[in-house]
Structure 1
Amino acid sequence: MEEPSPTPDPPTNQLGSLNDLAHELASLEDLATRGSWRSILDKVSRARSLNLLTSPHDHLIYLSYNVLAFSKLRRFSEASNEIDTLDDFNSSYYKYETYPRLYPNRSGSMIPFSLRFIHAQLPIKLGNRQEGLDRCYLLLKFIREKIKEKESHDLHDSVRIWKRRENSVLNCLIGHHLGDKEFSLSLDLIKDLINRDYLDPVLVSKLGYIQMQIGDIEGAKGSFNSVETMLNERKSDEYFLSEVQFRNLVNRNKALVYLVGKDYVSAVREYEECIERDHTDVVALNNKALCLMYLRDLSDSIKVLEKALERIPTIALNETLVINLCSMYELAYVNHSEIKRTLSNWIVHVAPDDFDASCTRVLISKDGR
């Protein structure tokens, strides 16, 4: 029931639209948006075999999408091999100013941030946790150097972009440390930002979640109250949150406090406020259903998740929600296997390529039925 960590953006560049710089970039972006990762691999392979990629930027962007597709499909060794072909990210070969005729009036690195992000994560996916953590901390250092550089030139928009990237990497690091129950390291990362007056409501909320996990309920309440104070000060634009997103964050924080106290009725009320504002708030939908399950109202809990999948399939279709729905089926129905099989068949037709269909826990017989 914890808030999800952010995921990296598709390959892009902070200098503006790149459609004029890369071969058919718009079609790659469209395929990524639809989760058609296998089609991306096919498109990259075809473009390379037909020598359609003519500029350094073409090759780099297509490689980035290839790496992203391999990663989404959990083909991490192939993603790692692809990145290794680049050798040194800081090479002059990957700088715009090296090619003034191709990229007039452009400077800086062509390496998309998402490629750096995936490069940092891959060792962990391949079983080398320490190397992955080391890369993540090096990436965090790189980002903070960029923030200082942009601040020294009063480039406020660039500072905001790099601070958002700092958030992504910090959330990733916090998630890894929490996964190994390294609570003190997670707390240190967040408190360091807070001590530097970097009051992002999502990070302060994350602090509250960690405090809850270590039993510091009063500390968590204090963190959540700080988030509500930020909302009242109307500073949502500073944190890339709309007012609806900010208000829903506050409601979800309140709901978690009720959940810890096993006051599921009050938690449901908070989640319903979120859903009334934004019917695509999947965290609220999922957690409302769990609360109803705890209240032994399996029928309504199942309806909440089924309606979410029906109304907003591209948003609601994630492994956590499907696992919860299947667990509810198992509790509610004797013939849950057939019901889950129906769900599994539906998922096959609507899910993106990277969806893990095994989360339905449907047993497939040897003859495929």
Structure 2
Amino acid sequence: MDTVDEAEEHQTLTSDPLTNQFGSLNDLCHELSSLQDLACRGSWRSILDKVARARKLSLLSKPHEHLTYLSYNLLALTKLRRFSDASAELDSLEDDLDSSQYNYQSYPQHYPNRSGSMVPFALRWLHAELPSKLGKRQETLDRFYLLLDLVRTKLTDNESKNLSVSDELWRKRECFVINSLISHHLSNKEFGVCLNLVNDLINRSGDTKNPVLLSKLGFIQMQIGDLERAKATFDMIEGLVKEGKGEVELRNLVSRNKALIYLVGKDYVSAVREYDECVERDGSDVVAINNKAICLMYLRDLSDSIKVLESALESIPTVALNETLVVNLCSMYELAYVNHSDIKRTLSNWIARVAPDDFDSSSTRI
């Protein structure tokens, strides 16, 4: 998530007419490309070291560089689950993020003829997300709704100025913030709020034929227990994908939606068939791989369910290595083997060698 969002932030800078003169990310900020590369590889401890070094040696010369490095430092601390440290780092800011001291026009010597906020969007997102990590759920919700207001204000401004490129970026950010809100409301089983949010997003965007948005709508309808509407939504998505001779990703989305309906009806054989089709089209579809293994487990085929997950970890480790898949695999080990502790310890040792810094090693439950 985060790295995608960061990439969008960098794209905004590099596509700005005032910054076209720069040839690389490093021209925009000290060793920015190195930070981006470390984030993509999950090397969060290295990011903390690099930020600490840059600060100690006073390598950051412009105000926006301090904010960019702060964003990466906060992201790294959050990924490493050092939430109190991240909160303290955020509290070190002298003013709120909308203060004039974080505007380009406050530093004409550094940014001639440039105006607006220099606060990275990733920093605003972390500012909203962090309180929930410290048990302050309502504060997170309040901040996300304020962030949504800011995003929609930007969209209104862009529309009045006919800024289509910037408008597209802020549309993505609107979707990103609403998805964050939906995630928090879903975790508290506030399904009605989720339904309103996704319907509002679909209506505001005018994109009533977006398969991804419609899939989210169908999923929420399932959570509410409205299976008929969920099926109708999923059927609509299938028609849209067939009509457009959909890409592999969209065709897999259709198959995963079908499988969800089968799962609710406990038709695990049919669900496995749909997931198999996904994997045949795209061998790195980890959602399909994981869910196929769970269905096999429900069918009392523990041997094959374990093979599915082990094969994924072996063949596509950078994609398949996530806590959910590992927790499921270890649960299957516990059901299948008397000596499951030894097997899980072997898995844990392998994970320690290949996993990114933020991988939660407790997922092996040793």
Common fold by TM > 0.5? yes
Which deviates more from structure 2 when the two are superposed, residues 50-59 or residues 194-203?
194-203
Which deviates more from structure 2 when the two are superposed, residues 162-171 or residues 112-121?
162-171
Aligned partner of 2:324 in structure 1 is 320
- Unaligned runs of 5+ residues in structure 2 are 15-23
Matched position secondary structure for 2:27: coil
Aligned partner of 1:181 in structure 2 is 189
Aligned partner of 2:20 in structure 1 is none
Take 1:32 and 1:7, find their aligned partners in 2: how far apart are those partners? 9
Aligned partner of 1:81 in structure 2 is 88
Take 2:153 and 2:239, find their aligned partners in 1: how far apart are those partners? 30
Aligned residues of 1:147 and 1:159 also touching (Cα < 8 A): yes
Q: Does 1:336 align with 2:340?
A: yes
Take 2:36 and 2:202, find their aligned partners in 1: how far apart are those partners? 35
- What letter is aligned with 1:15? L
Tell me how large the CA RMSD over aligned residues is: 1.8
TM-score w.r.t. length of structure 2: 0.91
Aligned residues of 2:221 and 2:227 also touching (Cα < 8 A): yes
TM-score w.r.t. length of structure 1: 0.90
Take 2:239 and 2:357, find their aligned partners in 1: how far apart are those partners? 41
Take 1:271 and 1:155, find their aligned partners in 2: how far apart are those partners? 42
Aligned residues of 1:205 and 1:223 also touching (Cα < 8 A): yes
Aligned residues of 1:64 and 1:115 also touching (Cα < 8 A): yes
- Unaligned runs of 5+ residues in structure 1 are 1-5, 237-242, 363-369
Aligned partner of 2:99 in structure 1 is 91
Aligned length: 351
Q: CA deviation at 1:104?
A: 4.6
Aligned partner of 1:9 in structure 2 is 4
Q: Does 1:215 align with 2:219?
A: no
Give the helix-richer structure, 1 or 2: 2
Identity, % of aligned positions = 68
Match of 2:280 among 276, 282, 296: 276
Matched position secondary structure for 1:9: helix
Match of 1:144 among 139, 152, 157: 152
Aligned residues of 1:274 and 1:284 also touching (Cα < 8 A): yes
Take 1:103 and 1:61, find their aligned partners in 2: how far apart are those partners? 16
- What letter is aligned with 2:13? L
Aligned partner of 2:266 in structure 1 is 262
Take 1:352 and 1:285, find their aligned partners in 2: how far apart are those partners? 21
Counterpart mapping for 1:1-369 below 5 A: 9=4, 11=6, 12-13=9-10, 14-16=12-14, 18-86=25-93, 87-104=95-112, 106-196=114-204, 197-199=206-208, 200-234=210-244, 243-362=247-366
Q: CA deviation at 1:150?
A: 1.8
Aligned partner of 1:240 in structure 2 is none
Aligned residues of 1:302 and 1:329 also touching (Cα < 8 A): yes
Matched position secondary structure for 1:253: helix
Q: CA deviation at 1:93?
A: 2.5
